[in-house]
Structure 1
Amino acid sequence: KDHKMPRGLTDVLEEWKCLEGEYEQLQETHRMYLQKLDEISSLQTKCTSSISRQRKRLKEVSQLARDGPILFIRCSTGPSEEDAKTLNVVKEKIKARPNAFFEMESFLPKENGLYLSLVLGNVNVTLLSKQSKFAYKDEYEKFKLYLTVLLLLFSFICYFFVSYRFLDAIFNFLLVWYYCTLTIRESILITNGSRIKGWWVFHHYVSAFLSGVILTWPDGNLYKSFRNQFLAYSLYQSFVQCLQCYYQSGCLYRLRALGERHNMDLTVEGFQSWMWKGLTFLLPFLFFGHFWQLFNCLSLFRMAQLPDCKEWQVMVCGLSFLILFMGNFFTTVAVVRQKLKTRKQKSKTL
């Protein structure tokens, strides 16, 4: 009699054979994947060194283009009209080239800045595809909006309904965590090609420091006298930030669709030139918030003069609010002035 294999064992062997075939395919795919990774790493190194070399040579060519007309004048033989046109075309291309390098570098690994190196170490945070960059940027925008709404609700509850130092501490700790997280996320976004820079980055470092100082302020008469003023200010700031997030994201979407903005541009707490169309109504809200920071600063400085003021937090918070006011106010004024100037120049050319 033939020895018949049990049905269950036959099924197992068939499944195993099928699985073995898939596993061999997986091994081959993984081998190709590792090979491509090595190729990518090699191409990244090649691109980085080529960009560095191009930058160096572009600097030399730029110097030659500047010195060329001067040499012609010294030789008393001015360049022909054709040569002058060609030189102008070259100069325009030289001006445009750094932007092209910036776009290329946003997809290449680069060393972390000092802040990211301290926080994350030497971890590569460059996102290598457009999809992953946009996904990270959108997640940043959502995080910012959700946390702003949460802070709005928290400050509203603390101001109107409860008055416990423990809840105030939780609120201030949330502010510290929020601003510290923003600074890390923004540094990663800058590494990946976002153009947020200058004061609007530094602003979050100052805000994180200020929230940390208020968190350590001991409960007492001076803290209680400033508490409601600070909570009202926080409530207003969160409300304005919600407004900004809503209108700026709509404005950025339109400008990106028209090809006028970079896809990694972000919404910011302040006012930037691209917000001009349709967003000028936000300016009074922003300026009111800036002057509230100045009012907080003056209140704290007055408090520091009181004979019973022993807390160092009073003066440090006052100085922090002064820095925030000056940075926010002068940056916003500079942007508005620049925008008005460019509008005047455009109207004159028309």
Structure 2
Amino acid sequence: HQIQLTIFAWQRLRLISLFLISETHKVYRQKLEELTNLQTTCSSSISKQRKCLKDLRTENCIFLLTDHLLTPQSKELKLITDIKSQIKEKGNVFFDMEAYLPKKNGLYLNLVLGNVNVTLLSDHAKFAYKDEYEKFKLYMTIILMFGAITCLFFLNYRVTDEIFNFLLVWYYCTLTIRESILMSNGSRIKGWWVSHHYVSTFLSGVMLTWPEGPMYQMFRSQFLAFSIYQSFVQFLQYYYQSGCLYRLRTLGERNQLDLTVEGFQSWMWRGLTFLLPFLFFGHFWQLYNSVTLFRLGRHEDCKEWQVFMLALTFLILFLGNVLTTLKVVHQKVQKNQDTVQKND
């Protein structure tokens, strides 16, 4: 009799639990459908507003004539300038809104992941993914530094070099995918520092395919030494940039999804200018690598296409890094001078 009561109580409890779960799941499905409809409505409205802003920029030709037809003191010029700033502000507002809405992936993510929704819908999920991305960069920087030290000083074997170069290819490929996901979620990564990782992926891939030979051995030690120095600088940048970003986020001056980068940006000016000599030394080391490879390419025993391709890639990295860093420094110095003049 006791066993029958126990079985009856268990069955009753199971039925009640199943009913409660079914009702909860039903409410969840309804809310999910409502959420999907709201997302579609918001996305459609934003697309229409963006189209209106685009038409306003292209069709209103008076924006192109204001500097020539209106005097600096005219009310019309001030009004049009105000409209321009409002249009720019609206674009930023729409960008922030779209960070919480599903959208189509770019070409790169479509090729890698397919048409998968990578939008994270909560601030907590976005920040957690960004934080995990930063930790991944830090851990991989340390691993690559010790890997380059091991290959340079302890293991002079082709197979260990291949493992190290393959790790570089995988690391930069992973960075490009993760950065694309962060950009889909509202992170304002842009400019050369996005392209930098694609170029670095290509360079690492060419290094991976470079066959063993005299030319490879002539450049091997220089490349590994450069990799050690690059990892060291990236390690410094991570700690100082992350501290700077933390302070700026606390003050409300930076977005929660802003990231540390391998270069120099305007927000790093406060307390981080000491990094500039380290950065410029690394940039000119890339130029030195390029010159060395171009010289190896003219060697009578050089038959590998990788030599010229690596020389060209290092030159592209040098030009992109130096020009972008100089541009940021010039803009910041000019802005500081303007601020001093206004205060005077």
TM-score range, shorter chain: over 0.9
Q: Matched residues in 1 for 2:195 and 2:238: separation?
A: 19
Alignment of 1:41-190 (within 5 A): 41-59=36-54, 92-190=85-183
Q: Which of 291, 294, 304 is matched with 1:301 structurally?
A: 294
| Counterparts in 2 of 1:65 and 1:211: CA distance versus 1, 3 Å | closer
Q: Answer with 1 or 2: which has the greater Rg.
A: 1
Q: Which of 7, 13, 20 is matched with 2:15 structurally?
A: 20
Q: Matched residues in 2 for 1:125 and 1:187: separation?
A: 10
Q: Matched residues in 1 for 2:200 and 2:79: separation?
A: 51
1:282 has 2:237 as partner:
no
Give how far 1:58 is off.
3.8
Give how far 1:93 is off.
3.4
Q: Matched residues in 2 for 1:323 and 1:9: separation?
A: 80
1:99 aligned partner, one-letter code: N
Q: Matched residues in 2 for 1:92 and 1:163: separation?
A: 59
Alignment of 1:167-316 (within 5 A): 167-316=160-309
Give how far 1:91 is off.
5.2
1:233 aligned partner, one-letter code: F
Residue of structure 2 in register with 1:334 after alignment: 327
Q: Matched residues in 2 for 1:222 and 1:89: separation?
A: 61
- The sequence identity of aligned pairs, in percent, is 60
CA-atom RMSD in angstroms: 2.2
2:19 aligned partner, one-letter code: E
Residue of structure 1 in register with 2:32 after alignment: 37
Give how far 1:85 is off.
7.7
Give how far 1:258 is off.
0.5
TM-score by length of 2: 0.92
Three-state SS of the structure 2 residue aligned to 1:193 is coil
Give how far 1:20 is off.
1.4
Q: How many residues align?
A: 337
Three-state SS of the structure 2 residue aligned to 1:122 is coil
2:23 aligned partner, one-letter code: E
| Counterparts in 2 of 1:50 and 1:151: CA distance versus 1, 3 Å | same
Would the aligned equivalents of 1:65 and 1:91 in 2 still touch at CA under 8 Å?
Answer: no
Q: Matched residues in 2 for 1:87 and 1:266: separation?
A: 35
| Counterparts in 2 of 1:334 and 1:87: CA distance versus 1, 3 Å | closer
1:266 aligned partner, one-letter code: L
Structure 2 spans left out of the alignment, 5+ residues:
none
Q: Matched residues in 2 for 1:44 and 1:297: separation?
A: 50
| Counterparts in 2 of 1:61 and 1:229: CA distance versus 1, 3 Å | closer
Q: Which of 328, 337, 345 is matched with 2:338 structurally?
A: 345
Give how far 1:216 is off.
1.0
1:29 aligned partner, one-letter code: T
| Counterparts in 2 of 1:84 and 1:281: CA distance versus 1, 3 Å | closer
Q: Matched residues in 1 for 2:304 and 2:53: separation?
A: 56
Would the aligned equivalents of 1:273 and 1:335 in 2 still touch at CA under 8 Å?
Answer: yes
Would the aligned equivalents of 1:116 and 1:187 in 2 still touch at CA under 8 Å?
Answer: yes
Structure 1 spans left out of the alignment, 5+ residues:
none
Three-state SS of the structure 2 residue aligned to 1:310 is coil
Three-state SS of the structure 1 residue aligned to 2:119 is coil
Q: Matched residues in 2 for 1:91 and 1:319: separation?
A: 41
1:97 aligned partner, one-letter code: K
Q: Matched residues in 2 for 1:202 and 1:314: separation?
A: 22
2:126 aligned partner, one-letter code: K
Three-state SS of the structure 2 residue aligned to 1:132 is helix
Q: Matched residues in 2 for 1:180 and 1:9: separation?
A: 62
Give how far 1:57 is off.
3.2
Q: Matched residues in 2 for 1:88 and 1:173: separation?
A: 52
